[in-house]
């Protein structure tokens, strides 16, 4: 976002002093829940108070809010007080940015569609052939991402050369311990349950023959774009958003499963990608950051125009 902004767009990163006292034309919010969440009650009180002051300042200066709608709901539900504060942000939002056309916004709300940019420049480097049979799930590991389901399905595979690699930090230490217990007696499963830097993550993805994302709910996924940016095929749940993404990137890059992931879904996906005549890389041209940056500029100008009408 910072590097792709056109020359006439000056991007200021968020801080509370800058938000409340600084000079800017538009406030762009992506994950509003993090404006009010804190580990301590004192921190929560301070952030909630600061948000109320910020909203008053925005109202007084007639500064529009542009909000990116990522998921339908936050990954972790918040308190009723948090919901009320986010509703106050929603009421002040002049324009919504949808990452895909299936995202629902409030009736009558003004919106624009701007797809999530790819990660090709972030994860640049030399490619190499994947390890045959290696299946990978990566990212911050949470229960809704279906990690345990993937482990169970893999343990039933009839594929002697298959191996499963899980890479990423569990969202709690207890969840990490549960994952280790489930994998303890399966030699073909290897774990790296910690945060990994970009260069190491890219290496892990490039070594995979298939990236599996067995999420119970998937609307917009950064992980699927990381895998596609590194030219690795993906198995993901069937949603309208994923069906549209599969059509966009071209045949052979995204295999879809229905319901809960099963052993047969993994076996079918491996057969499909091995027989596919897909190109060298998926088509991510509409997600070039030069395009994304220009379209965000257009969104900011549109929000300013709506403020003045």
| Both structure tokens of 198 | 């970009």
Helix residue ranges per DSSP H, 74-121: 80-92
Q: Assess whether pLDDT exceeds 80 at residue 74.
A: no
pLDDT in tens, 16-36: 999 999 999 999 999 898 898
The mean-pLDDT minimum among 30-44, 156-170, 243-257 falls in 30-44
Quote the pTM value. Answer: 0.88
Distances (CA, A) of 122 to 3, 5, 10, 58, 289: 11, 16, 22, 34, 11
Report all structural domains of the chain as residue ranges with CATH numbers, in order of start.
16-115+288-307 (no CATH), 134-286 (3.40.50.2000)
Average pLDDT over residues 294-309: 91
Average pLDDT over residues 90-94: 93
pLDDT in tens, 161-206: 999 999 999 999 999 999 999 999 999 999 999 999 999 999 999 9
| 127 band by pLDDT with thresholds 50, 70 and 90 | confident
The mean-pLDDT minimum among 19-28, 70-79, 207-216, 273-282 falls in 70-79
Give the 3-state secondary structure of 4-22: CCCCCCCCCCCCHHHHHHC
């Amino acid at each position: 976002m910072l590097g792709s902004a056109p020359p006439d767009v000056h991007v200021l990163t968020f801080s509370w002093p800058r938000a409340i006292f600084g000079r800017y034309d538009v406030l762009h919010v992506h994950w509003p829940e993090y404006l009010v969440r804190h580990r301590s009650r004192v921190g929560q009180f301070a952030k909630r108070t600061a948000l109320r002051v910020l909203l008053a300042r925005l109202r007084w200066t007639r500064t529009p809010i542009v909000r990116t709608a990522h998921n339908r709901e936050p990954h972790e539900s918040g308190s009723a007080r948090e919901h009320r504060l986010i509703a106050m942000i929603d009421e002040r939002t002049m324009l919504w940015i949808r990452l895909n056309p299936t995202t629902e916004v409030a009736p009558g709300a003004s919106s624009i569609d701007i797809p999530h940019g790819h990660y090709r420049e972030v994860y640049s480097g030399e490619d190499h052939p994947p390890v045959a049979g290696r299946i990978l799930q990566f990212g911050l590991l949470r229960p809704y991402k279906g990690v345990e389901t993937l482990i169970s399905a893999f343990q039933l595979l009839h594929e002697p050369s298959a191996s499963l690699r899980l890479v990423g930090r569990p969202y709690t230490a207890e969840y990490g311990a549960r994952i280790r217990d489930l994998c303890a007696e399966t030699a073909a499963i290897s774990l790296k349950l910690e945060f990994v830097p970009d260069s190491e993550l890219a290496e892990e993805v490039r070594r995979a023959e298939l990236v599996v994302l067995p999420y119970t709910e998937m609307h917009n996924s950064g992980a699927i774009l990381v895998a596609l940016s590194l030219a690795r095929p993906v198995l993901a749940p069937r949603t309208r958003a994923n069906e549209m993404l599969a059509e966009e990137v071209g045949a052979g890059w995204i295999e879809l499963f229905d319901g809960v992931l099963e052993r047969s879904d993994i076996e079918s996906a491996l057969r499909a990608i091995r027989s596919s005549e897909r190109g060298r890389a998926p088509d991510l041209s509409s997600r070039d950051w030069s395009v994304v940056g220009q379209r965000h500029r257009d969104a900011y100008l549109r929000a300013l125009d709506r403020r003045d009408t």
